């Protein structure tokens, strides 16, 4: 398996790149949730309320501990999140998604790390009790031999050398084949964000990819979805809905689902 030599950092155009919501205090987090929770996007995390971001902060804190144990040093800051290569499905998290593409060569070994599929499962592995779980968690039949990639914080070289032994290549192949949301390896950027922003200012507009949950395919490109809604309303007014629109379900304004 050829490993990509760049990472992609996805972000909301209005706010800009290289931000971590866990740096906000409770008041500012709640304010952001209230501003964003009813706005259209493919997958709206903010609709889950502050409870989601409390869980996210717990996962973030556990990642900081893991980084400290691995490198025998505390990180200088909370990380900024990206993926290895590209995974434009993540664009569905944003109203107006953009990304930065940064070569691996830009980072020292300790400045970018990787976890499959992302760091949220650290909460489940920690056995910390939470009222709700969010994100990708370890399965009920988890054991290290069957799922050796869980809990592993990897440098790029470790990922390159262990991608088969840790069964990450198998995981990615299966998830891409099923068009699952979690078809990526998360990257954590620990480098100075000001330095990166000064060198990488080319914001690339993202067209969010669809994903499937086994029963439905979720389309996330809201610029196109809004156009379909407009066309559908016009056709309905004329009482002659084309077949492709008639078979399209708009799900509560948060995603478009084709059965």
pLDDT tens readout for residues 173-190: 999 999 999 999 999 999
Q: Which of 214, 132, 134, 122 is nearest to 175 (CA)?
A: 214
One domain, residues 28 and 138: yes
Do residue 109 and residue 143 come from a single domain? Answer: yes
Residue 115 within any structural domain of the chain: yes
pLDDT reported for residue 241: 53
Is 145 found in the same domain as 51?
A: yes
Asked, for residue 61, whether it belongs to a domain, the answer is yes
Q: Is 211 part of a structural domain of the chain?
A: no
Q: What confidence tens digit (pLDDT) does each residue in 222-246 have?
A: 767 666 666 666 666 665 555 544 5
Domain of residue 72: give its range. 6-205
- Residue 190 sits in the same domain as residue 235: no
Are 252 and 174 contained in the same domain? no
Nearest 5°: the CA angle 161, 163, 168 is 165
Residues 6+ positions from 167 with CB-CB distance below 8 Å: 147, 148, 149
Query: What is the rounded CA–CA span in Å between residue 247 and residue 184?
Result: 30
Model confidence pTM above 0.85: yes
212, part of any domain: no
Residue 1 located in a structural domain: no
Residues 198 and 233 in one domain: no
Task: Supply the pLDDT for residue 242.
Answer: 55
CB 195 within 8 A of CB 108: no
Which residue numbers in the chain have pLDDT < 70? 223, 225-259
State whether 84 and 60 are in the same domain: yes
Both 227 and 199 in a single domain? no
């Amino acid at each position: 398996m050829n490993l990509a030599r760049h990472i992609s950092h996805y972000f909301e155009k209005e706010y800009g790149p290289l931000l971590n919501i866990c740096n906000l205090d409770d008041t500012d987090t709640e304010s952001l949730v209230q501003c964003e929770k009813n706005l259209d996007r493919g997958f709206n995390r903010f609709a889950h309320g502050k409870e989601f971001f409390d869980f996210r902060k717990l996962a973030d804190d556990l990642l900081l501990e893991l980084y400290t144990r691995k490198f025998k040093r505390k990180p200088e800051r909370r990380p900024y999140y990206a993926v290895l290569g590209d995974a434009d499905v993540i664009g569905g998290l944003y109203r107006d998604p953009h990304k930065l593409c940064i070569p691996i060569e830009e980072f020292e070994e300790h400045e970018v790390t990787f976890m499959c599929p992302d760091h949220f499962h650290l909460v489940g592995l920690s056995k910390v009790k939470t009222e709700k779980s969010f994100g990708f968690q370890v399965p009920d039949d988890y054991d290290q031999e069957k799922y050796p990639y869980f809990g592993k914080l990897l440098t790029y070289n470790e990922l390159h050398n262990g991608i088969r032994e840790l069964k990450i290549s198998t995981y990615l192949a299966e998830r891409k084949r099923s068009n699952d949301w979690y078809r990526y390896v998360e990257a954590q950027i620990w480098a100075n964000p000001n330095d990166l922003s000064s060198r990488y200012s080319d914001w690339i507009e993202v067209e969010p990819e669809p994903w499937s949950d086994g029963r439905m395919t979720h389309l996330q490109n809201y610029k196109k979805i809004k156009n379909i809604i407009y066309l559908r309303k016009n056709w309905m007014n004329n009482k002659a809905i084309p077949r492709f629109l008639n078979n399209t379900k708009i799900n509560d304004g948060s995603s478009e689902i084709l059965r």
